[in-house]
Amino acid sequence: MSSLEEFLRSAGIKNFKATEVVLPGRGSPSEKQWPNIVGALRVADDLRERWGSAVRVVSGYRSPEYNAKVGGSKKSMHMEFRALDLQPANGKIAEFQKLAAEVVADWRKRGVNVGFGTYDTFIHVDTGAPTGRNRTWDERSGKGKN
């Protein structure tokens, strides 16, 4: 894990550690996949800076086996190490979701392809999708799908 940590620091990632994006029991990305997570982590770093307090990664890399076990999409960007599910440590999810939407919009204006999903207890960001450019969805209870 220390090599991934060094890679993340060399990529300029400030607020997240390797142990946060590769959680126990979910598999490990290959070294070839490491560059895939940089875009999502840059968006997450920006969100964390603007949020001003702790942001927790609830899902980062997922092996295909773990992804299937949790009912993830067969095309999940987590398996490619391109996605993060994030939540505010202070529990203020509605405010966090609003700020996250603003941060994602800013990155999209810069030409970055960011997938953005909103759920009851977390948000999802991914970058580098070959299809579904700038896809946005809402899976919150009572909100329906976009």
Beta strands in the chain (DSSP E): 55-59, 83-88, 114-118, 123-127, 136-138
Nearest to 89 by CA among 124, 116, 54, 129: 54
Range 120-129 average pLDDT = 94
* Phi, psi (deg, nearest 5) at residue 116: -140, 120
Q: Out of 4-8, 14-18, 32-36, 125-129, which region has the weakest mean confidence (pLDDT)?
A: 125-129
* Res 34: pLDDT: 97
pLDDT in tens, 42-100: 999 999 999 999 999 999 999 999 999 999 999 999 999 999 999 999 999 999 999 99
* Residue 2 confidence (pLDDT) above 90: no
* Res 128: pLDDT: 84
**Domain range 2-138, CATH architecture:** 2-Layer Sandwich (3.30)
* Res 81: pLDDT: 97
* Res 11: pLDDT: 97
* Res 143: pLDDT: 66
Range 105-122 average pLDDT = 95
DSSP designation for 77:
G
Q: Work out the number of other CB atoms within 10 angstroms of the CB of residue 85.
A: 19
Please give the model's pTM, rounded to 2 decimal places: 0.92
Which residues are CB-neighbours of 1 under 8 A, at least 6 positions away?
18, 19, 22
If you write DSSP's letter for every residue of 29-43 in order, what string do you get? --GGGGGGGHHHHHH
| Cα–Cα distance measured from residue 4 to residue 116, given in angstroms and rounded to the nearest whole number | 25
| Cα–Cα distance measured from residue 22 to residue 129, given in angstroms and rounded to the nearest whole number | 20
Which residues are CB-neighbours of 105 under 8 A, at least 6 positions away?
none
* Res 131: pLDDT: 67
Domain boundaries of the chain, sorted by first residue: 2-138
Helix (H, G, I), strand (E, B) or coil at 100: helix
| Cα–Cα distance measured from residue 128 to residue 146, given in angstroms and rounded to the nearest whole number | 20
